Structures are given as structure tokens and as C-alpha cells.
């Protein structure tokens, strides 16, 4: 039966009426569960901004319904006032300073969700206006790039879902991420970014953009079927598929005008138009995919050569007899590239966390004792550990040991990892606890006083010691100790750490002279 289904499906057909007939059955007559999953996929991709359906407007209405985003306009104005007061800005002509202030207000309004989160702690906002502006600028850049490139790349997953649904009764929602495996994600991203850049350049000519829109119409579908395809291959194959059919594809859209009108009805696009149009595009892809005059070597899914699910039902096949298997596997994280001697287990990482936490605490306490001849618990927790040292050391060994043969790369990756961790830890203490445990202001190449050049160099050198010496040594010692005893030690340490952490959350972190200090609203306090 499978062989017959595949053979009968290979005949080239371009029949819009047949597409529509099959489409109506495929969308509206396959049961509530199947229909619900289609609508859910439309909702998800509208929510993340990967598609531009009118349905996205209804999704954004949820933001307003649940009042996401800042409602305090004074915080928005504060951002504009701060930018206008910067030394490089305040001496400019009034009209220019006013325009720059308005740009700051627009920046805050366009990132109101981020500002709302930061404004949760008003004291933090008053102390760190410069950092807030920096975060808003970064958020703006990430959103701009992400929404147009990365998010739009995700439509490949949407296409994959609809393509598989054409041949199978039930398609799991996880299949939308199947094209984005560890070995394919970068390939797909590179191909789709090139696609959008080329389309953007072509649309500068207007007429050329419209022509290329239909010439490259099937690029996302081709990538969804074969994530290993290159931009050049996908472009050439789409051009071959649409040769002589660009106008017919356009007329197919024109013939669907009633469905576009339905989209003007509230929720009509989400429930009817979007699912229908995505499915009919899929029908067009498989119609032209079967052309006998094109190179079929890039079509890797044999299951896509079979007849559609609804057609097989019409031929008398039973749903339980229609078993379809796809070559593209589910998204899965593959194993690490570590050598056998560098593979660290869960218990190894826990022990390294506590070892580095204790060594870091011992270093800070000893340094303070040497400078001031006073013993002080330098940690923000009450026990003999500094989690930032533990987390940094454990993460370096666990994540970066695979770069031990490439010392420059290990050096750079260690700086990036430790710098990010230290900055975020300082930010979290400042934001959530109004506390400060280190301040690098005045030191060479510091960033908001949270990280500095000297500290990052120390972390980098420590990372080398950890990767080449401490990690392998701890692993050997734990092997000698045995799993059972190691497990008991880990349980005791984790339990003690959890009690300490709970005490810090309930009663507050360790503070005092020489340790950390509470920050006052509007000013940075000295440690």
C-alpha cells in the first residue's frame, strides 16, 4: 500500500481547485484535535513575532489585557531626562537636546516591558540610570535583530509542521523545532538570514522585489525539508520550481480573497485565514515539488513522495494503517566533544562548586586579614563559601574543558563566561537586595563598577589552572573516594548550603563593615 501511495503521488499536478478541495478537508474536516494544534501553531508563531498575520494583533492584545509593560510614565521621562543631562548632550543647542531627550523617551516606551522589570526596584533605577539606559539600548538592538532575522528564521519550523501534517494524522507540536538541531541550527539560520537580506535588497527596486518574492517563494519550505541545504541550492531549486508558475502562484492568492476578507472579522485570521493560507501554500509546494523537469536530489524526505493523508483516506485506507516516518529526527542535544578524561559527572561538578566556593572565601578572608588585620566573613552568605567563585570555577571546567587544546580560545571564553557571571551577580545583588559586595569604580577598564580588567585577567588565569590542573585532580580524587562516599559528602554540603541560602532569603544576607553594604536610593554606597 505504501508503495502504491508513493507511486501515485509522483504525478505532476497544478490544480488550484484541487488544492482548495484538499485544503478544506485538511483544515476543517480532520477533527477538533488536529484543528486545535493548527491554531495553536499560528498563535505561537504570532506571539514570538515570527509571522505577520493579523492574528499577531490579537496576541498583542493579551499584553494590554494583562497590563504588561510600564504604566508609570515618570520612569519613561526619567530615561529621557538622564540622556539629556549627559555632559556630551547638555551643552548642545536646546532644540537638539530636546530631540535627543525625545529619542530617550521613545527608547523607553519601545522597551516598556524591560523598563517595567527594572522599575520594580525604584531604588535601583535611581542609582543606576546609566546602566538602565544601556540595558534598554541592548534590548532594542536584540529585539530589532532578533525579530527580523532569528524570529523569522523560526518560520522554517512552522513550515515543517504543516508539511508533515499533510501526510500524517497526528503531528506532535515538538516537530516545529525539528529543523533546529545542534548540527543544523546554524545552517538554517545562515540560509534564512541570507534569504531575508537578499529579499530586502531586491525590494529596494520594488518591481524586482515582487518578482523575487515569487521566484524564491519556496525557499523556507525547501529548508524545512532539508535543513542542510545552502542558500544557493535553495534559491536555485525554488527558481526551478516556480519557473513558469510565478503568475499562477499570485493568482492562487487572489482566488483566496474571501479568506482574506474573513481575516477582518475578530479572530477570523487566527481561526480560519491563517491556517487555511498556510496549508494552501503547502499544497502549492508539493504540487510543484513533483515537477519532472527539476533536480530532485535535494528532496530528502521519501515520505513526502506519498499521497496526502486525506487522499489516502478517500482511497479507502484506514487511519491506523497509515504509518509515516520522517527522516528528520526530533530535536536532541548530542553528546559533548570532551575527551574521555575530560568528561565530568554531576557529582564532580557539585564537588568542584564547593571546592572553588571555599577557596574563593578563603582568599577573600585572607586578603582582608592581611590588609586590615581583622577576620571578617567576606561572603554574602553566612557559611564558608562564596558561590560566585564556585559557580565560575565549576562552569569553566565543565563547559570550557573542551577548548583545552586551543589556549587562546579558552582564554577568551573564560573571560566572557566569568565576566558575564560576575556582572550578573553584582546586578542581582544590587537589584534584588539593594546590596553591594564589590565596587571596581576607579579601577582600569571597569564597567559600571561591576567588572574590571584586572579581575577578568585573574579569572582567566584561574580558569587555566582549573582546566589543566584542578579539574583532572578532583576527578581522580573522587574516583578514589568512590561514588557512595562522594554522594554522601555532596548531600551534606548541598543540605548545609540550602539551609544557609534559606536563612539569607528570610533574614537577609551577611552584611557589615568589610563585607557588603546596603545601598541607599539615588547613590552608590562604599563597601
Q: Model confidence at 212, in pLDDT bands (50, 70, 90)?
A: very high
Task: Give residue 129's pLDDT.
Answer: 82
Q: Does position 5 have pLDDT exceeding 60, yes or no?
A: no
Average pLDDT over residues 53-65: 54
* pLDDT value at 389 more than 50: yes
* Mean pLDDT, range 274-296, rounded to an integer: 93
pLDDT at 62 over 80: no
**CA separation, residue 242 to residues 163, 210, 217, 432 (Å):** 18, 14, 8, 57
C-alpha cell at 398: 565543565
- The mean pLDDT value for 233-239 works out to 96
Between residues 47 and 385, the one the model is more confident about: 385
Of 67-76, 252-261, 373-382, which range is least confident? 67-76
The model's confidence at residue 215, banded by pLDDT at 50, 70 and 90, is: very high
What pLDDT score does 7 carry?
42
Q: Assess whether pLDDT exceeds 80 at residue 370.
A: no
Average pLDDT over every residue of 386-400: 86
Average pLDDT (507-517) is 68
For residue range 293-307, list pLDDT tens digits in order. Answer: 999 999 999 999 999
Q: Which of 72-81, 84-93, 483-492 has the lowest mean pLDDT?
A: 72-81
Mean pLDDT, residues 408-423 taken together: 88
Query: Would you place residue 449 in the very low, low, confident or very high pLDDT band (cuts 50, 70, 90)?
Result: confident
Which cell is 60 given? 498583542
More confident residue, 153 or 113: 153
Residue 339, pLDDT score: 47
Is the per-residue pLDDT at 514 higher than 70? no
pLDDT of amino acid 489: 92
Does residue 70 carry a pLDDT above 80? no
pLDDT for residue 173 = 86
Judge whether residue 44 has pLDDT over 50.
yes
In this prediction, residue 288 carries a pLDDT of 95
Q: What is the pLDDT of residue 105?
A: 85
Query: What confidence category does residue 231 fall into, taking pLDDT thresholds of 50, 70 and 90?
Result: very high
Contacts of 39 (CB under 8 A, 6+ apart): 270, 271, 275
Q: Which of 13-22, 135-144, 234-243, 420-429 has the highest mean pLDDT?
A: 234-243
Give the least confident one: 114-118, 160-164, 496-500: 114-118
> Is it the case that residue 523 has pLDDT exceeding 50?
no
Of 45-54, 227-236, 333-342, 516-525, minimum mean pLDDT range: 333-342
Whether pLDDT at 53 is above 90: no
Q: Look over the chain and give the mean of its residue pLDDT values, rounded to a whole number.
A: 83
Mean pLDDT of 499-504: 87
What b/e string do you get for 315-335 counting C-beta neighbours within 10 Å, with b at 16 or more?
eebeeeebebebebeebeeee
Cβ atoms of 119 and 79 within 8 Å: the answer is: no
For residue 342, the model assigns a pLDDT of 58
Tell which wins on pLDDT, 147 or 436.
436
Question: Distance between CA atoms of 517 and 425, rounded to whole angstroms?
Answer: 15
pLDDT value at position 519?
59
- Cα–Cα distance for residue pair 219/508, rounded to 1 Å: 56
**What is the rounded CA–CA span in Å between residue 110 and residue 71?**
13
Question: What pLDDT is stored for residue 162 in this prediction?
Answer: 94
Q: Which residue has the higher pLDDT, 112 or 146?
A: 112
C-alpha 460/C-alpha 261 separation (Å) is 61
* Distance set, CA 210 to CA 81, 201, 203, 413 (Å): 44, 12, 7, 44
* 192 pLDDT above the threshold of 70: yes
Greater confidence (273 vs 108) lies with 273
**Distant-in-sequence, close-in-space partners of 414: CB < 8 Å, separation ≥ 6:** 396, 400, 459, 460, 463, 464
Q: Are 523 and 129 in contact (CB under 8 A)?
A: no
What are the two backbone dihedrals, phi and then psi, of residue 493, each rounded to the nearest 5 degrees?
A: -65, -45
**Mean pLDDT confidence for 183-209:** 92
Where is pLDDT greater, at 350 or 403?
350
**321 confidence band (pLDDT: 50, 70, 90):** confident
The answer on pLDDT for 526 being more than 50 is: no
Least confident of 47-51, 68-72, 170-174, 370-374: 68-72
Q: What percentage of the chain's residues is helix, strand, coil (to nearest 5)?
A: 70, 0, 30
Q: How confident is the model over 473-483, as a mean pLDDT?
A: 88
CA 410 to chain centre: 24
Percentage above 70 pLDDT, the chain: 87
Check residue 240 and give its pLDDT. 96
| Helices (H) then strands (E): counts for the chain | 27, 4
| CA distance linking residue 394 with residue 258, whole number of Å | 60
Which of the four pLDDT bands, split at 50, 70 and 90, describes residue 249?
A: very high
For Cα atoms 196, 202, 204, give the angle at the middle one, nearest 5 degrees: 110
Amino acid at each position: 500500500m505504501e508503495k502504491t501511495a508513493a507511486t501515485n503521488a509522483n504525478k505532476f499536478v497544478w490544480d488550484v481547485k484541487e488544492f482548495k478541495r484538499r485544503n478544506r478537508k485538511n483544515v476543517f474536516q480532520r477533527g477538533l484535535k488536529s484543528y486545535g494544534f493548527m491554531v495553536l501553531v499560528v498563535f505561537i508563531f504570532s506571539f514570538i513575532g515570527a509571522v505577520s498575520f493579523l492574528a499577531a494583533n490579537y496576541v498583542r492584545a493579551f499584553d494590554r489585557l494583562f497590563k504588561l509593560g510600564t504604566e508609570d510614565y515618570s520612569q519613561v521621562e526619567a530615561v529621557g531626562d538622564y540622556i539629556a543631562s549627559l555632559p556630551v548632550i547638555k551643552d548642545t543647542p536646546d532644540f537638539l537636546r530636546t530631540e535627543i531627550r525625545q529619542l530617550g523617551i521613545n527608547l523607553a516606551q519601545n522597551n516598556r516591558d524591560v523598563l517595567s522589570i527594572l522599575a520594580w526596584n525604584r531604588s535601583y533605577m535611581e542609582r543606576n540610570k546609566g546602566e538602565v539606559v544601556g540595558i534598554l539600548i541592548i534590548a532594542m538592538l536584540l529585539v530589532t535583530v532578533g525579530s527580523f532575522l532569528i524570529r523569522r528564521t523560526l518560520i522554517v519550523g512552522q513550515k515543517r509542521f504543516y508539511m508533515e501534517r499533510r501526510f500524517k494524522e497526528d503531528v506532535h507540536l515538538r516537530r516545529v523545532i525539528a529543523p533546529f538541531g545542534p548540527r543544523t541550527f546554524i545552517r538554517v539560520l545562515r540560509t534564512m538570514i541570507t534569504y531575508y537580506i537578499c529579499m530586502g535588497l531586491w525590494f529596494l527596486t520594488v518591481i524586482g522585489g515582487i518578482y523575487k518574492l515569487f521566484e524564491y517563494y519556496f525557499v523556507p519550505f525547501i529548508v524545512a525539508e532539508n535543513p542542510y541545504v545552502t542558500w544557493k541550492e535553495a534559491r536555485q531549486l525554488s527558481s526551478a520550481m516556480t519557473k513558469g508558475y510565478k503568475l499562477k502562484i499570485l493568482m492562487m492568492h487572489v482566488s483566496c480573497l474571501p479568506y482574506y476578507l474573513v481575516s477582518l472579522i475578530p479572530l477570523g485570521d487566527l481561526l480560519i485565514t491563517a491556517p487555511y493560507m498556510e496549508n494552501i501554500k503547502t499544497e502549492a509546494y508539493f504540487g510543484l515539488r513533483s515537477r519532472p523537469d527539476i533536480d530532485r536530489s535535494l528532496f530528502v524526505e521519501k515520505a513526502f513522495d506519498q499521497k496526502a493523508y486525506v487522499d489516502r483516506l478517500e482511497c479507502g485506507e484506514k487511519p491506523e494503517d497509515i504509518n509515516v516516518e520522517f527522516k528528520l529526527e526530533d530535536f536532541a542535544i548530542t553528546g559533548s566533544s570532551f575527551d574521555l578524561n575530560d568528561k565530568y559527572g554531576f557529582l564532580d561538578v557539585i564537588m568542584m562548586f564547593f571546592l572553588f566556593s571555599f577557596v574563593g572565601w578563603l582568599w577573600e578572608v585572607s586578603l582582608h586579614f592581611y590588609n586590615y588585620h581583622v577576620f571578617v566573613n567576606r561572603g554574602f552568605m553566612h557559611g564558608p563559601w562564596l558561590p560566585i567563585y564556585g559557580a565560575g570555577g565549576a562552569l569553566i571546567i565543565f563547559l570550557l574543558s573542551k577548548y583545552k587544546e586551543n589556549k587562546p580560545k579558552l582564554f577568551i571564553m573564560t573571560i566572557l563566561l566569568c565576566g558575564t557571571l560576575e556582572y550578573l551577580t553584582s546586578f542581582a545583588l544590587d537589584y534584588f537586595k539593594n546590596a553591594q559586595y564589590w565596587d571596581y569604580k576607579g579601577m582600569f577598564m571597569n564597567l559600571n563598577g561591576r567588572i574590571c580588567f584586572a579581575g577578568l585577567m585573574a579569572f582567566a588565569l584561574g580558569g587555566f589552572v582549573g582546566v589543566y590542573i584542578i579539574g583532572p585532580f578532583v576527578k581522580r580524587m573522587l574516583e578514589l573516594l568512590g561514588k557512595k562516599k562522594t554522594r554522601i559528602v555532596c548531600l551534606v554540603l548541598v543540605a548545609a548550603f540550602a539551609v544557609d541560602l534559606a536563612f539569607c532569603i528570610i533574614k537577609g544576607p551577611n552584611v557589615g563593615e568589610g563585607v557588603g553594604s546596603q545601598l541607599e536610593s539615588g547613590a552608590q554606597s562604599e563597601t
